[in-house]
Amino acid sequence: MLTQIHQTCNHKILISDENAGEKICKTCGQVVVQNMVDYSTDGFTDNSQNVRVGPKSTLTIHDGGLSTIIAKSNFDSSGKPISHKFKGQLNRMRIWDSRSRTGSTSNRSLMVALSEIGKLKEKMSLSDAIVERSGYFYRKAVEKKLIRGRTVKAVAGACVYAACRDLGTSRTIKEIAKQIHERQNTIAKAYRLLFQKLCLEVQISDPTSSIVRYCNNLKTPETIKRDALLILDKLKATGVVAGKKPNSVAATVIYMACIKNNKNISQSKISKTSGITEITIRTRLKEFTQYVSLN
């Protein structure tokens, strides 16, 4: 009976089984096609970009992470030692491999800059997104020839600061200058140049992230942090914080929250943590208390 169905069936409706690589007739159940070829992407997209095979390409490495490094061991892939006859050729290949990766001055400068950005990532606990964006900004600066006449550390620090501003992370030029061991005004000049030549559109810093960071560094109770955020919301509603430096607003709001909760944290301690002078905190306090009551 099954043989007769197969003979009379025209196999008009077929079901594809991608796991088995077969096409099956829905009517009679006969396997019509076997060992189908999988034409889906396997590791590469239409633009020939590596997707799943090997390490991903990244802007934090000067060659994009796509280089081939000749190892220093004199053993082949099977573990057998290289013969003495080919050791000289292998050493020469290593030399030219190293020269090809760092042959030009721009490549050497890029390697140093990305190394400094990587150090800042570890010292300042920056995210991978910030480091990736910093590498992108530095490469753009190299294309625009903005590196000439400026130190690599200054431009690298400016790129990190620009990436922090672009992604809404609260980091100051003073903090970056301290960690990268470069003068603050040098990094500021490099940042202004990047801002003008690369046409950067950066966000205005929000004091909220600074409040959370300062409270964590001061090890204040959670009530201080919560009250500081509530005071900030009230001040934003009045519009008095517009045009003020976000870090100075954050430091002052934390001090106001300490007064409200009878917490003995001095202005000098908040000043050392935030980098805002005590005079600025007192000036902002006198201004903000006109709009927010601390009773």
Please report the DSSP string for 154-206 in residue order.
HHHHHHHHHHHHHTT----HHHHHHHHT--HHHHHHHHHHHHHHTT--PPPPP
With vertex at residue 137, the alpha carbon angle to CA 133 and CA 139, rounded to the nearest 5 degrees, is: 115
Per-residue confidence in pLDDT tens, the chain, 295 aa: 444 445 567 777 888 877 777 888 888 878 888 777 665 554 445 454 545 455 566 666 665 655 666 777 777 777 788 888 788 888 888 877 776 666 666 677 888 888 899 889 888 888 888 999 998 999 899 888 888 888 999 999 999 999 988 888 878 888 899 999 999 999 999 999 998 888 887 777 778 888 988 998 888 889 999 999 999 999 988 888 888 888 899 999 999 999 998 888 889 999 998 888 999 999 999 999 999 888 7
pLDDT at residue 137, rounded to an integer: 92
What is the chain's alpha carbon radius of gyration, rounded to the nearest angstrom?
31
Question: Domain residue spans in the chain?
Answer: 2-33, 105-197, 207-288
* DSSP secondary structure letter of residue 23: E
How many CB atoms are closer than 10 A to CB 28? Answer: 16
Say yes or no: do domains 105-197 and 207-288 share a fold: yes
How many CB atoms are closer than 10 A to CB 137? Answer: 23
pLDDT at residue 252, rounded to an integer: 93
In the chain, what's the furthest Cα-to-Cα distance? 98
Q: Which amino acid is at 210?
A: S
Q: How far is the C-alpha of 255 from the C-alpha of 236, rounded, in Å?
A: 17
Residues 6+ apart with CB under 8 A from 88: none
3-state secondary structure at position 50: strand
CATH code of the domain made up of 207-288: 1.10.472.10
- Which top CATH class is 105-197? mainly alpha
How many CB atoms are closer than 10 A to CB 166? Answer: 18
Helix 267-274 with 278-288: angle, nearest 10 deg: 110
Chain-centre distance of CA 159, in angstroms?
A: 11
- 55-60 own/partner pairs: CB under 8 Å, 24+ apart: 58/132, 58/135, 59/132, 59/135, 59/136, 59/139, 60/114, 60/117, 60/118, 60/131, 60/132, 60/135
Residues 6+ apart with CB under 8 A from 288: 231, 235, 240, 252, 253, 256
Closest CA to 243 of 285, 207, 199, 200: 207
The answer to whether 256 and 287 are in contact (CB under 8 A) is no
